[in-house]
A and B are shown apart, each in its own frame.
Chain A
Amino acid sequence: MGEIVTLRSAAAGGEIGLEPHRTGNNTIGDAGSASDPRQPMIVLVVPEMHCGGCMRKVENALLALPGIVSARTNLSARRVAIEARTGDGTAERCMTALANIGFAATLLSRDRAPEEGDRDRDYLKRLGVAGFAAMNVMLLSVAVWSGFARDMPGSLQTLFHWLSALIAVPAIAYAGQPFFASARSALASRRLNMDVPISLGVILTTAMSIHQTIRGSDQVYFDAAISLLFFLLIGRALDARMRSRASSAAENLLGLREVAASVMRSDGTIERVATDTVIPGMRVLIAAGERVPLDARIVRGNGDLDESLLTGESRPRHVTIGDPIYSGTIALTGPIVAEATAVAENTLIAEIARLMQTAEQARGRYVRLADRAAQLYAPVVHLLGFGTFVGWMLSGYGWEPALTSAIAVLIITCPCALALAVPAVQVVATSRLFRSGIVLKAADGLERLAEVDTILFDKTGTLTMGKPQLIDAARIPQSILMRACGLAGQSGHPYAKAIVNAARQQGLAIVALAGVEEVAGAGLRAWHDGQELRLGSAQFCDVIDARASEQALWFRDGENAPVPFPVGDLLRTDAKEVVAKLARWPYRLEILSGDRSGDVAEIAAAVGIACWRADVRPAEKIARIHQLSGEGRKILMVGDGLNDAPALAAGHAALSPSSAADISQQAADAVFQGDRLGAVLEILAVAKAARRRSLENFAIAIGYNVLFVPLAMAGMVTPLIAAIAMSASSIAVTANALRLSHQNLEDQP
């Protein structure tokens, strides 16, 4: 029995991995339809799942729970789909089970249609069909063309044409739909996009080829029509894939909001309720390690809050009675009792999401290079075709040769090379960036990045590493570092982690001490060999020297003098070089930080950026961006925190490190991995080179048209010439794009 269940659910789980809303044999087009009630599926977001080991731990922990039929992780999406026999409270139990093995999990918000994932798969299907048809039609066409040289009987030629038609026509009808639909909607709103000449060319070519096949003529262009669709679909499929990844990350973020809160009743009992039922004035209990469910004010207890998601500031903030706390932040120590001050939709995190949406609208108005070209190209092509028809009619040849020549013009001008010009470059640029650990997300992002002339940096996590690190760890004697580690190893506090990391780097073995006690808002303490060890604030470690107490972290071993453990956020190793180079290229540089002005000034001086602003709130960051764009500048925003997200969306282009909050990554055009800021240089260099390649490709495509259009207008184009011209121009364009792959762009601004 168990085996059958597993096999079935494993197959279903794989399918559901990305799209939790639907199950079974879904069809394209019913995206977002209501979830299937037969198979209740819980989808949890597990952002900390990184490898096969994590996947197994997560799955095993879930399967060990009673009532769980299957649990299938999806590492790419950082999600796990769970099928359970029991109903209420299962999600809660699963989240607790995962928390126990060290994986924070949140329930995936269910109120969004998985539109992008569907489109991604839809394009792949059409691409597969078009690819199959193109290969087979080409096989038959090549046979026919070589038959011209070696007397192929006419009947066989006609048979091959019919076979081609049989394969190509259904494939074109299916694979061409995205183009036809887009062309139709463009025409309906009286616009022209690149899909209009594509659709017109493909439909007319197919129609004429069918007509010629029936007549038994050799003017048959099925191969041209279907391979055009195949090439174009490659570009579209890659584009859809990038978008689908971005929207999946966005969905994961919606799950970050705490879905349940522990509400403290007036009689002191505690009850877990859904966050959206909490009203201002209710008291919620936040345990150590928990996310704050909604904006609140502390009424009892104190502790340290990790607000990095909101402010980008890695240093934990100590909060005590009366302080406001915001949803999305994590209580590092606790417990804290707080009184809700806002309902779920009015929290700071929701406010930031709203700011972002309005900011994004401006970017939606950007017209892509290919579309701008289409607006010029399409009318010219249509006029040429019409002119050819009129010309032949006026010369008295009758409507049939006139129509054939006009269609030949449309086939020749069918923007194969033109429509490939930008996608080909984009694909090469994307894979080049991917090799250097940069994920390009928005398809038009590369074009916008190339136009940038001003760069605004966030400080924490962008110019700096964003994680506290032990400064000059080598200066601290190893024996002391090891004892401190014994305490720090037990805590999830960022400072404690910094100490453990430093010890690991020195190759020290970490021996955890027993009975470590965490004192909220102060530090850690334990008894070892009759001595009390303390690690924490200056006050906690009884530091007497008031001047020295500037250091945030101290360690005291029994009666020995306390030792300072300087922790700070270090600059990215290459930040200074990169900034100097960017300034030379030349870009105008500026720092916009939500951090304190002293810290910002220090970093600005260290990297050599003269212009900086501190204490900037998210709305003020947008205001600054609007002010600069008002001066006609194109702005690149580089940032990581949730507080940067609206600014990232408002800039002309945006970049985020991969350590950034999901919502910031979503707003960014590209996300770079690793500790080096040099990625920013690489992205800008590639973007500019890609723009140059795209323009060159346009020139190639237009040059080819200038050569062949007169031939077509004169009625001298045969299917072989059309196929050669089309593939030659496509190959030329692709080859030119490929040059980008290994070109040295070091010093090219």
Chain B
Amino acid sequence: MTALAWLVPAALALGGLGLAAFLWSLDNGQYEDLEGAGWRALDDESELTRKSTPQ
């Protein structure tokens, strides 16, 4: 039964990690544009290269 002493906290911590990740992604706007995100993944021209061109 001593295994429970660390198994239960470990299970809760892992679950909590998942929850934290979900809440973070929600607040971060990861689900705001599900349609566009799919396209962005296919975009070869990264935003960094686009922006770093001299203005």
Give chain A interface residues in 61-86, CB to chain B under 8 Å: 63, 66, 73-77
In this complex, the interface size class of chain A, counting residues with CB under 8 Å from chain B, is: 35 or more
Are A76 and B36 closer than 8 Å at their CB atoms? yes
Which residues on the A side are within 8 Å of B18 (C-beta)?
132
Closest partner residue, chain A, to B39 (CB atom): A52
Closest partner residue, chain B, to A153 (CB atom): B1
Which residues on the A side are within 8 Å of B8 (C-beta)?
140, 163
Which residues on the A side are within 8 Å of B48 (C-beta)?
3, 6
Are A56 and B45 closer than 8 Å at their CB atoms? yes
Which residues on the B side are within 8 Å of A135 (C-beta)?
15
A77 to B47, CA, bound (A): 20
Are B51 and A167 closer than 8 Å at their CB atoms? no
Q: For chain A, what secondary structure do more than half of its interface residues adopt (helix, strand, loop), or is it mixed?
A: helix
Q: For chain B, what secondary structure do more than half of its interface residues adopt (helix, strand, loop), or is it mixed?
A: helix
Closest partner residue, chain B, to A67 (CB atom): B55
A77 to B31, CA, bound (A): 12
Which residues on the A side are within 8 Å of B32 (C-beta)?
14-15, 17-18, 74, 76-77
Give chain A interface residues in 370-410, CB to chain B under 8 Å: none
Closest partner residue, chain A, to B31 (CB atom): A124
Closest partner residue, chain A, to B37 (CB atom): A75
- A136 within 8 A of partner (CB): yes
Which residues on the A side are within 8 Å of B11 (C-beta)?
136, 139
Are B19 and A132 closer than 8 Å at their CB atoms? yes
- A11 within 8 A of partner (CB): yes
- A632 within 8 A of partner (CB): no
Closest partner residue, chain B, to A53 (CB atom): B39
- B3 within 8 A of partner (CB): no
A121 to B18, CA, bound (A): 17
A66 to B27, CA, bound (A): 31
Which residues on the B side are within 8 Å of A11 (C-beta)?
28
- A29 within 8 A of partner (CB): no
Name A residues whose Cβ lies closer than 8 Å to a Cβ of B. 2-3, 5-6, 10-11, 14-18, 25, 51-52, 55-56, 59-60, 63, 66, 73-77, 121, 124-125, 128-129, 132, 135-136, 139-140, 156, 163, 167
A/B interface sample: 12 pairs, CB < 8 A: A3-B51, A5-B51, A10-B47, A15-B29, A52-B40, A52-B43, A55-B36, A66-B55, A76-B34, A125-B23, A132-B15, A140-B8
| Other 19 A-B pairs with CB < 8 A, given A15-B28, A77-B32 | A3-B52, A6-B51, A14-B30, A14-B32, A15-B27, A15-B32, A51-B39, A55-B36, A56-B45, A59-B50, A74-B36, A75-B36, A76-B32, A76-B35, A121-B26, A132-B16, A132-B18, A136-B12, A136-B15
